[in-house]
């Protein structure tokens, strides 16, 4: 791991290739897994503010879950996560005309109906953040459903830290990301990254 500011970044973020490929995976990350997307405490209010904007587009099952338990719940580890339908689908997930899963909040953001894109954990994926004392650990999460994204990233020569430029800047700032690029170039120059 490499420390940059108040974050420690795993070498996998520099080594792994990644380029999200929804046409192949159909956005399955929004509907697979055993819990919803991790949510920071300050994001709960943002989810609640987005709810009336996207509510009519949500499935009836998703609206029923939100009515019963709210936009988030605590998973088995005690972490706040987005509410889910039938034990897997995020309540804010929907399907487009091609059968690809989309985030209704991000759709509203792209259409100018909200100023907030989506939870940072979703925007940052495949990076996963965790606290280690006063530092934030930035780790690369490998998941079989994203195998095509790893293949596409390798084919295009895009590493995880490059693919995640915008969300990393949103979370940590432009200066932090610029320092990350310096570190990446040093690691490549010294042969630590092949």
Break the chain into its structural domains and give their ranges: 1-18+126-194, 26-123
What's the rounded Cα separation, in Å, for the pair 40 and 5? Answer: 20
What's the rounded Cα separation, in Å, for the pair 108 and 118? Answer: 10
Q: Residue 78: pLDDT band by 50, 70, 90 thresholds?
A: confident
Cα angle at 15 between 13 and 18, to 5 degrees?
70
Cα angle at 41 between 20 and 101, to 5 degrees?
30
Q: What is the pLDDT of residues 16-71, one digit of tens each?
A: 999 987 777 666 666 666 678 889 999 999 999 999 999 999 999 999 999 999 99
What's the rounded Cα separation, in Å, for the pair 179 and 175? Answer: 6
What's the rounded Cα separation, in Å, for the pair 96 and 78? Answer: 32
Residue 193 has pLDDT above 90, yes or no: no
Residue 174 has pLDDT above 70, yes or no: yes
**Residue 134, SS3 per DSSP:** coil
What's the rounded Cα separation, in Å, for the pair 25 and 148? Answer: 7
Of the candidates 30, 29, 38, 34, the one whose C-alpha atom is nearest the C-alpha of residue 144 is 29
Q: Residue 145: pLDDT band by 50, 70, 90 thresholds?
A: confident
Q: What is the pLDDT of residues 95-107, one digit of tens each?
A: 888 888 889 999 9
* Mean pLDDT across 167-180: 96
CA distances in angstroms from 69 to 14, 49, 73, 191, listed in the order given: 39, 16, 7, 50
Cα angle at 149 between 194 and 4, to 5 degrees?
55
Q: Determine the pLDDT at residue 1.
A: 87
């Amino acid at each position: 791991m490499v420390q940059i500011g108040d974050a420690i970044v795993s070498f996998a973020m520099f080594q792994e290739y990644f380029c999200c490929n929804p046409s192949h995976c159909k956005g399955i990350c929004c509907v697979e897994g055993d819990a919803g997307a991790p949510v920071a405490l300050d994001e709960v209010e943002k989810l609640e503010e987005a709810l009336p904007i996207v509510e009519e587009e949500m499935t009836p099952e998703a609206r029923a879950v939100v009515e019963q338990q709210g936009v988030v719940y605590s998973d088995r580890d005690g972490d706040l996560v987005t509410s889910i339908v039938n034990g897997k689908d995020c309540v804010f997930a929907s399907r487009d005309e091609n059968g690809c899963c989309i985030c209704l909040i991000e759709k509203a953001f792209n259409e100018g109906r909200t100023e907030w894109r989506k939870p940072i954990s979703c925007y940052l994926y495949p990076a996963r953040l965790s606290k280690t004392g006063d530092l934030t650990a930035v780790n690369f999460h490998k998941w079989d459903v994203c195998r095509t994204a790893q293949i596409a990233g390798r084919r295009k020569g895009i590493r995880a830290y490059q693919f995640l430029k915008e969300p990393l800047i949103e979370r940590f700032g432009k200066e932090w990301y610029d320092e990350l690029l310096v570190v990446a170039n040093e690691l490549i120059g010294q042969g630590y990254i092949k």
